[in-house]
Chains A and B, each alone.
Chain A
Amino acid sequence: MNTVAFTIVAIFTLTFALAAATNPRLMHAALSFAVMFVGIAAFFFLLGAEFVGLVQIFVYVGAVAVLIVFTILLTRRDVEKTRGFNWSGVVIAILVFAGLVWPILKSTSVSIAPPVIKALTVKQIGLALMGAYVWPLLCVGVLLTAALIGALILVLEDKRQ
């Protein structure tokens, strides 16, 4: 059951990832990218990491995809124009992929065979975040607040005129 589901989700995710990379129409590529995020969330669900899967949909489909789409709308005048094939992108993608695969295959600490999956509850994640990892969490919070204030200052209109 899990293997079948894994195969289906993998094919689904890969299809949309390929579509995102190769679709000549930019907006279609961006939307395929959003669908791919749903596929990745499905992987997390299969692994029993319900919380991460939900956050994946929440943050990536709900926010990042909208952000990407708006960036395309606001920065390019030729949304409708079809783009050509980008060979340098292919080279970079292959390099990054190889750079990731090489250490994964080299490493001995990560076993490829899946261990027995024990579902991680939201409560456990909450306790971990509020206990052992509370300092990193607070630091990230401060950093994000600073970024938010910075963004506000950037767009603040000049009242003096």
Chain B
Amino acid sequence: MARSVDQIFIYAKGWLLSPLAGRAPDWVIQITSSLINIAAVLGVFLTLFALISVLERKILGRMQNRYGPNRVGPFGLLQPVADGIKMLIKEDIVPARADKVVHFLAPIVVAAAAILALGVIPYGRNMTPFVIDGGILFFFAVGSTTELAVFMAGWGSNNKFSMLGAMRAIAQMISYELPLIITVLPVVMVVGSLNPDKIVSAQRYYSLGFVPHWFVLTPWGATAFILFFVSGLVESNRTPFDVPEGESEIVAGHMTEYSGFKYATFFMAEYLGMFAVSGLAVTLFLGGWHAPVPWLAFIPSYVWFFAKLSILLFVFIWVRGTLPRIRVDQMMNVAWKFMLPMAFTCLVSAAVWHYAGRRLSGWLWSFAVVAIVYLGLSLFLDTRKKFAPRTYRFAE
């Protein structure tokens, strides 16, 4: 029973494909199967987007001691529908001096990259929409096209604020791509595969009958997870790293000249990117769709995946509601002087853990490596004693 509930979507897809089996040529079946997967991913995540956009406003409202949207539908739950209609009937303004083609294509490319990245994440047992051997690499390859798309938005708008925003966005995305990718490496190294399904199944065991073998429970995994999450925050341009669209400084960054549904597309891409990064974090560090304790394994795998995903999304919103925006130079300093060395430390620490036999002693040694580097970096990067009268430097 539990098994069939777990596989219900697989059966549903098989049922949808069954009229074709034996009659249509192979490639028709292949393409139909892919189209079903694409439709499922889009359906699920656009619904989640609608849901999270209203939930975020509710949660932020709660944190800021106000109500949040509560006028449309019960508890304001129909707010996304109203927003969607509003966005659709708004005038689509394109600046007269804009590069029309590039201006038009930019939001599409941003959204396409985010949607493609969602394709390689295993959402449940046998539920990876796009099975590919180098899935993790695919994720980052399509993610890296976002930079060009952001640039297209900034340049195509022919607006100083847009261009500045795009420059900032690209600078921070390139800087944080390094820690983001290097923190993934220890997991890839320990599992010995770039395939997300294999990474998930490498975390399927339990010690002592209840401690899951999730990578987040190892010292290197915990460090890598935190670094990965922070880099993910930056990559999705969310507060406190929303420097590119800092509305108090440069209007809305690369989105300044967008209105109506194009703006909504950017907004959607931001959320889809957030889902993708959280989904990858769940896959890599939080055991994917596995249950946290073996006796809860009867609950379907996709429920576990989306439960973990919701927790991470809640943290995203929580951070947004709590922290102020940080300065560009602070952000770059953290990226290059702290995040990058720590990411490399994770790599070394994971190697120590692996070669010490993946046991308790390895755990302790690995912890020692992370702790020593962390303490060393905090001593080395301590700026407190350097306080002095402020000096100003101007561009020459």
Contact = CB atoms under 8 A, between A and B. Distances in A.
Interface of A: 1, 27-28, 31, 34, 50-51, 54-55, 57-58, 61-63, 65-66, 69-70, 73, 119, 121-123
Contacts, number: 62
User: Chain B interface secondary structure, helix, strand, loop or mixed?
Assistant: helix
B54 interface: no
A123 to B, nearest CB: 7
Contacts of B148: 31, 34, 61-62, 65-66, 69
A89 B174 CA distance: 33
A34 to B, nearest CB: 6
Given A1-B27, A62-B145, A66-B170, A27 B137 contact: no
A151 to B, nearest CB: 13
Nearest to B150: A66
B137 A54 contact: yes
Interface in B83-113: 99, 101-102
A62 B152 contact: no
Interface string B346-382: 0000000000000000000000000000000000000
B155 interface: yes
A121 B133 contact: yes
Contacts of A54: 134, 137-138, 141
Contacts of B159: none
B194 interface: yes
Contact of A58 (B99, B144, B155): B144
Contacts of A1: 27
29 contacts: A1-B27, A27-B99, A31-B102, A34-B148, A50-B134, A51-B133, A57-B141, A57-B142, A57-B144, A57-B145, A58-B137, A61-B144, A61-B145, A61-B148, A62-B143, A62-B144, A62-B145, A62-B147, A62-B148, A65-B148, A66-B147, A66-B151, A66-B170, A66-B174, A73-B155, A121-B133, A122-B134, A122-B137, A123-B193
Nearest to A73: B155
Interface string B150-190: 01100100000000000000100010000000000000000
A55 B101 contact: no
Most chain B CB within a 10 A radius of its CB, from A28, A55, A61? A61
Nearest to A57: B141
A121 B194 CA distance: 10
A25 B106 CA distance: 17
B318 interface: no
Nearest to B194: A122
B151 A69 contact: yes
Contacts of A65: 148
Given A31-B152, A123-B193, A58 B141 contact: yes
A31 B147 CA distance: 12
Nearest to A157: B393
Closest 4 CB pairs of A and B: A62-B144, A58-B141, A57-B141, A54-B137
Nearest to B144: A62
Contact of B155 (A27, A57, A62, A121): A27
Contact of A50 (B101, B132, B142, B155): B132
Nearest to B139: A54
B67 interface: no
Contacts of B206: none
